[in-house]
Amino acid sequence: MRHRKAGRHLNRNAAHRRSLFRNLARALFTHETIVTTLPKAKELRPFAERLITLAKKAHAATTLADGKGDADEKKARTLALHYRRQAMALLGPTHGTNIYDKEGKAQIDPVKGSKKISNDTVLKKLFRELGPRYADRPGGYTRVIKRHERRLGDAGTTAVIELLKAGEKKVRMVERKPAAAPAPIAPAPVAPPETPAT
116 pLDDT above the threshold of 90: no
Q: What is the pTM of this model?
A: 0.76
Whether 23 maps to a domain, the answer reads: yes
pLDDT score recorded for residue 96: 58
Q: Which amino acid is at 140?
A: G
Q: Compute CA distances 102 → 10, 54, 126, 128, whole Å.
A: 27, 27, 18, 21
pLDDT score recorded for residue 192: 76
Most trustworthy range by pLDDT among 2-6, 56-60, 121-125: 56-60
186 pLDDT above the threshold of 80: no
Residue 21 CB: number of other CB atoms within 10 A?
Answer: 21
114 pLDDT above the threshold of 70: no
Whether 109 maps to a domain, the answer reads: yes
Q: Residues 17-71: pLDDT tens digits?
A: 999 999 999 999 999 999 999 999 999 999 999 999 999 999 999 988 777 788 8
Q: Residues 126-183: pLDDT tens digits?
A: 999 999 999 999 999 999 999 999 999 999 999 999 999 988 877 777 777 888 888 7
Whether 90 maps to a domain, the answer reads: yes
Phi, psi of 122 (to 5 degrees): -60, -35
Whether 91 maps to a domain, the answer reads: yes
Q: What share of the chain is helix, strand, coil (3-state, %, to 5)?
A: 40, 15, 45
Question: In angstroms, rounded to a whole number, what is the distance separating the alpha carbons of residues 145 and 41?
Answer: 9
Domain that holds residue 156: 19-163
Question: In angstroms, rounded to a whole number, what is the distance separating the alpha carbons of residues 81 and 91?
Answer: 15
113-117: average pLDDT: 58
Instruction: Using the Cα atoms of residue 126, residue 128, residue 130 and residue 132 in order, give the sign of their dihedral.
Output: positive
Q: Taking a C-beta distance cutoff of 8 angstroms, is the pair 159, 147 a contact?
A: yes
Phi, psi of 42 (to 5 degrees): -70, -35
- The CATH code of the domain that includes 112 is 3.90.1030.10
Q: For the chain, what is the domain count?
A: 1
Question: In angstroms, rounded to a whole number, what is the distance separating the alpha carbons of residues 83 and 51?
Answer: 9
Whether 7 maps to a domain, the answer reads: no
Instruction: Tell which phi-psi region holds residue 120, choosing left (phi > 0), alpha (psi between -120 and 50) or beta.
Output: beta
Whether 69 maps to a domain, the answer reads: yes
Whether 5 maps to a domain, the answer reads: no
Q: Taking a C-beta distance cutoff of 8 angstroms, is the pair 47, 26 a contact?
A: no
Q: Residues 81-108: pLDDT tens digits?
A: 999 999 999 998 865 567 666 666 666 6
Whether 56 maps to a domain, the answer reads: yes
